[in-house]
Amino acid sequence: MSGTLVLVRHGQSEWNLKNLFTGWRDVGLSEQGIKEANDAGKKLAERGFKFDIAYTSALSRAQVTCQRILDAVGQSGLTTIKDQALNERDYGDLVGLNKDDAREKWGEEQVHVWRRSYDVQPPGGESLRDTGARVWPYYMHEIQPHALRGETVLIAAHGNSLRALIMALEGMSGEEIVKLELGTGVPMIYQLNSDSTLKSKEIL
C-alpha cells in the first residue's frame, strides 16, 4: 500500500514580490500568489486528487494557499493541521531587509553564504539544517504515518521547510539541497512505498 504526499510552496507573497527576507514574519499573498494557489488547486482537481488530511504552517501565506487548493478540489472543510514546525526558515536579523540592501551592507558573498549554505546561520536566525531539525521529527511522527496507511496528504508550506523535507524524502546531501529551486504554487507529488522509501516523484 503506497501513500501520496503533495507538497506545494505557497504562492508568491507580498514580500517575495518586494525581494525582502520574510522568514517567520506573517506576510500575505500577492495577487499573483493568490492566482498561483488557485492554479495549483485547479491542476490537482483536474488530476482527480482527493486528500485525507492537510498540513500547513502557522503562517497565513501557506494557510491561504492550502485553503485555496482545498476549495478547488471540493474539500473546503477538510481537517487541516497548522503547526510552526513547518514554518519558513527564520532569517533572524535579515527579516524585512531588501536582499539587495543586505548585499550592500554585508557583501554579496556573505549574503550568498547565509542564503545558500546548509549549516551557516544568518545573525539571530536559522540555517537550513536548523530548519530540518524541526521539520524532520514533525514529519516522522505526525505526517508520515498517514502516508504509510495509504492516505493522500497535502502539505502547503515554504521554500526552506519543504527543502528540508525533500532532502529527507530524496536522500539528498546538504550541498545538493541548497541548489534546489522550488517554484511558488507548483505541486510536487511524491508516491511512497509501504516502507517509507520513495516510489516516484512528479512535478505538475
- Map residue 9 onto helix, strand or coil: strand
Percent of the chain having pLDDT more than 70?
Answer: 100
Reported as a single tens digit per residue, the pLDDT across 64-88 is: 999 999 999 999 999 999 999 999 9
Confidence of residue 39 (pLDDT cuts 50, 70, 90): very high
Q: Is pTM beyond 0.85 here? A: yes
Cell of 10: 505557497
Long-range contact pairs involving 126-129 (C-beta distance under 8 Å, separation at least 24): 126/89, 126/90, 126/91, 126/92, 127/89, 128/89, 128/160, 128/163, 128/164, 128/174, 128/177, 128/178, 129/174
Q: Across all residues in the chain, what is the average pLDDT?
A: 96
Whether pLDDT at 124 is above 90: yes
- Please indicate whether residue 146 is annotated as part of the active site: no
- Alpha carbon 12 to chain centroid, angstroms: 12
Q: Name the residue among 196, 78, 191, 80 with its Cα closest to residue 144.
A: 196
Whether pLDDT at 35 is above 70: yes
Query: What is the rounded CA–CA span in Å between residue 67 and residue 78?
Result: 9
pLDDT of residue 15: 95
- Map residue 111 onto helix, strand or coil: helix
Query: What is the rounded CA–CA span in Å between residue 163 and residue 184?
Result: 13
- Report the first-to-last Cα separation within the chain, whole angstroms: 23
pLDDT of residue 52: 98
DSSP letter string, 138-201? HIIIIIHHHHHTT-EEEEEE-HHHHHHHHHHHHT--HHHHTT----TT-EEEEEE-TTS-EEEE
pLDDT of residue 106: 94
Cell of 112: 550568498
pLDDT of residue 2: 82
Domain ranges of the chain: 3-203
Confidence of residue 107 (pLDDT cuts 50, 70, 90): very high
Whether pLDDT at 114 is above 90: yes
Whether pLDDT at 98 is above 70: yes
Query: What is the rounded CA–CA span in Å between residue 89 and residue 177?
Result: 14
Whether pLDDT at 1 is above 80: no
**What CATH code is assigned to 3-203?**
3.40.50.1240
> Which one of the listed residues 36, 46, 88, 109 is annotated catalytic?
88
- Please indicate whether residue 158 is annotated as part of the active site: no
Cell of 126: 536559522
Q: Mean pLDDT throughout 102-130?
A: 94
Whether pLDDT at 48 is above 80: yes
Reported as a single tens digit per residue, the pLDDT across 135-164 is: 999 999 999 999 999 999 999 999 999 999
Q: Is the dihedral of CA 173, 21, 17, 162 positive or negative?
A: positive
Percent of the chain having pLDDT more than 90?
Answer: 97
Q: Which amino acid is at 117?
A: S
User: Can you name the residues that pair with 80 across neighbouring β-strands?
Assistant: 54
In this structure, the number of other CB atoms found within 10 A of the CB of residue 201 comes to 14
